[in-house]
Structure 1
Amino acid sequence: MWFEIIPAFSIVAVCLAIPHVAVFGLNKLVNGNAFRRDTVERYDRIFYQRDWRITGNPYQPTGLDAIPNEE
């Protein structure tokens, strides 16, 4: 019957979900945070570099107090 496909579907679904869960843990282990920025587009890379220059760590949000004042 139709329900005989449920075990095979479950195995495939779990195998496809493992990389998404593993990336969360690997980023936490390697980068110190659980998320990774997407830098595929040119503007995303520019914003990442801007945040790195201003704060030193683009993954920790900061406000305007992180930008140094000009003299």
Structure 2
Amino acid sequence: MWWEILPGFAIMTACLIIPGVATAQIHKFTNWGKEKRIARVPYQYYLMERDKRVSGVGKHYVSKVKKINFQHFGLCK
């Protein structure tokens, strides 16, 4: 009957969804919580170019994390 197609449909759907979700999570993990910026339409590309100009360092994102001085905490000699 018609419900016999449901297991195959579920497997195909999972196989198509998993790579997209996994890629987004890998980008988020490797970029310290920020998703990768992708310009899918020209307007988004112009916004990224604007961010590069405004930041003054030629990047659309500047990390706010400073270098940690471990000698201050007595962890390194």
Instruction: Give the TM-score of the pair, scaled to structure 1.
Output: 0.59
The higher-RCO structure (CA 8 Å, 6+ apart) is 1
Equivalent residues in 2 for 1:28-47 (5 A)?
Answer: 28-47=28-47
User: Quick check: 1:54 aligned with 2:70?
Assistant: no
TM-superposed deviation, 1:11:
0.2
TM-superposed deviation, 1:22:
0.7
Runs of 4+ aligned residues of structure 1 deviating over 6 Å after TM superposition are none
Whichever of the two has the greater Rg, that structure is: 2
The structure that is helix-richer by fraction is: 1
Query: Could you say what the CA RMSD is over the residues aligned between the two structures, in angstroms?
Result: 2.3
**Structure 2 contact 28–36 (Cα < 8 Å) conserved:** no
Q: Which amino acid aligns with 1:15?
A: C
TM-superposed deviation, 1:26:
1.4
Distance 1:34 1:8, change over 3 A: farther
Aligned residues: 58
Distance 1:34 1:22, change over 3 A: farther
Gaps of 5+ in 2: 63-77
